[in-house]
Amino acid sequence: MMRPYTHDEAEWAPHGLPAAVVRPRTTGDVQAVVHTCLAHRVPIVPRGAGTGLSGGANAVDGCVVLSTEQMTRILEIDPLERLAVVQPGVVNDHLRAAAAEKGLWYPPDPASSPWSTIGGNVATNAGGVCCVKYGVTRDYVLAVEMVTGTGAVVRLGRRTAKGVAGYDLLGLVVGSEGTLGVVTEVTVRLRPARMPEHTAVGHFDSVSAAGQAIHEVGAAGIVPSALELVDRHCLAAVDAWKNMGLSVDADVVLLGRTDAPGAAGHDEADRMVECFMRGGASRAARSTDKQEAEALFAARRLAYPALERLGPVLTEDVCVPLRAVPVMLDRIERAGRRHDTVIANIAHTGDGNLHPLLIVPGDDPSARRRAQAAFDDIIGDALDLGGTVTGEHGVGLLNRDGLRAELSKDVMAMQRAVRAALDPAGILNPGKIFD
């Protein structure tokens, strides 16, 4: 019963065995759990759907895993104010579907959107395919209700379009990975339903050529609604799993989209094609086959689970400035060669968020050590280029060393002080983000 709740999808992150799993339905239930655990000094590990990729929801021995999976009510959708109020266990795609019925749209769309929950998205400040143009979860969270580590129920944020009363405590909570409180309700901003998208596809013989094409798109002033990179390893793995008939005659495929209205959308897609060709594409075209375009984006979403079937996957989440994307892609390739490690690449290249996927045979300790060395080199390269160790997956357990390298001692001390203020007993998700 409890074993499925011991860890998330980060296969390399350590985990323990919880003493209990609790699945509350209300804020009052959550508060009761916190009060009980506080009285007995028992750690609490908040958990959504368990789709995380950094070990942020991994259990520690003797903890209580607090799963929000039964808090699934969409409490309100307000078309006038363009907002929704939901419990944290609402699945991302379920909210998007409910909003669509009102002619509205919730933009954050992580690859796990068919399974991941809004609470988990808030915990990691999840992004997704369209965040290059429309932003990440933090840009859409207006307010939360949460239970702090002292057992207090608080509301942070507001429903109004503007508001600067006090410090931005809400901004601290989004991306805090359950270390500052257990979120029990989320108010999110919605947008009007989007325009139909046009897709541009480019095939490249190398990741460095694809990187140059990405630079060309940015230099041309194009703001795509999506700009995704998928390499041959990913396409082949998805095709072998789902038999989708995908083309794998290129080392790298760039998928660009625009939702500019009317003729402007056609024009912008054509301009992306031109950028792909200037960057060195072997071929590029605006897709006129909607089914084919959807299949390619579906393959992008399925890449991680498809590669998992080949062996344990160590996932990176580095983010670098746009001008550094071509160099970073080249350095990822070099890290793979240097450490004799197969690295597949998927990326939100439009905003510099790269996801190298290091694939290791499950029974090869030497290969595992080499992959870890490549992982560390990639983290170092991202920081060297002015980037960050995590763009959207969170620090969790896998990126703690990288966080220490990225942040100064003074800043780390400030962050620990915030955590101690809201969770003085240290019972909320211990060991995550910081040691």
Whether the CA torsion 374, 380, 381, 387 is positive or negative: it is positive
| Residues 184 and 199 placed together within one structural domain of the fold | no
Contact (Cβ atoms closer than 8 angstroms) between residue 332 and residue 317: no
- For residue 431, tell me if it sits in a domain: no
CA distance 266 to 285: 12
Task: Answer yes or no: is 79 within a domain.
Answer: yes
Outline where DSSP puts E strands in 40-152. Answer: 44-47, 64-67, 74-78, 83-86, 104-105, 141-147
pLDDT confidence of residue 288: 82
Rounded CA separation 67/140 (Å): 23
- Domain contains 186: yes
- Domain residues for the domain of 236 are 195-308
Q: Are residues 63 and 124 in the same domain?
A: no
If asked whether residues 332 and 304 sit together in one domain, one would say no
CA angle (159 as vertex; 155, 165 as ends), nearest 5 = 65
In the chain, the amino acid numbered 302 is L
Q: Are residues 166 and 217 in the same domain?
A: no
Structural domains of the chain, count: 4
Cα–Cα nearest to 362, from 293, 285, 307, 288 = 307
Two tokens, residue 257: 């989209």
What is the Cα 86 distance to its own chain's centre? 20
Any domain includes 19: yes
* 300 shares its domain with 199: yes
How much of the chain, in percent, has pLDDT values that exceed 90?
A: 86
pLDDT by residue for the chain (435 residues), tens only, comes to: 788 999 999 988 999 999 999 999 999 999 999 999 999 999 999 999 999 999 999 999 999 999 999 999 999 999 999 999 999 999 999 999 999 999 999 999 999 999 999 999 999 999 999 999 999 999 999 999 999 999 999 999 999 989 999 999 999 999 999 999 999 999 999 999 999 999 999 999 998 899 999 999 999 999 999 999 999 999 889 888 988 777 567 889 999 999 999 899 999 999 999 999 999 999 999 988 888 888 888 888 899 889 988 888 999 999 999 999 999 999 999 999 999 999 999 999 999 999 999 999 878 899 999 999 999 999 999 999 999 999 999 999 999 999 999 999 999 999 999 999 999 999 999 999 986
Instruction: Say whether 119 sits in a helix, a strand or coil.
Output: helix
* CATH value at residue 371: 3.30.70.2740
Judge whether 433 lies within some domain: no
Same domain membership, residue 19 and residue 89: no
Domain boundary among 264, 288, 308: 308
For residue 33, the domain's CATH number is 3.30.43.10
- Reading the block at residue 374, the tokens are 């490549």
Residue 432 belongs to a domain: no
Is there a domain that residue 429 lies in?
no
pLDDT one-digit tens code per residue, 85-102: 999 999 999 999 999 999
- In the chain, what is the greatest distance between 2 CA atoms, to the nearest angstrom? 64
- Helix or strand run (H / E) with residue 380: helix 365-384
- Name the strands in the sheet holding 198-204, side by side, starting at the edge strand that comes first in the sequence: 283-286, 198-204, 252-258, 226-231, 342-348, 353-359, 313-315
State whether 202 and 111 are in the same domain.
no
Neighbouring residues of 298: CB distance < 8 A, sequence distance ≥ 6: 244
CATH number (domain holding residue 272): 3.30.70.2190
Pair (394, 321) in one structural domain:
yes
Among residues 137, 168, 192, the one where a domain terminates is 192
- CATH number, domain at 85? 3.30.465.10
Q: Residue 38: inside a domain, yes or no?
A: yes
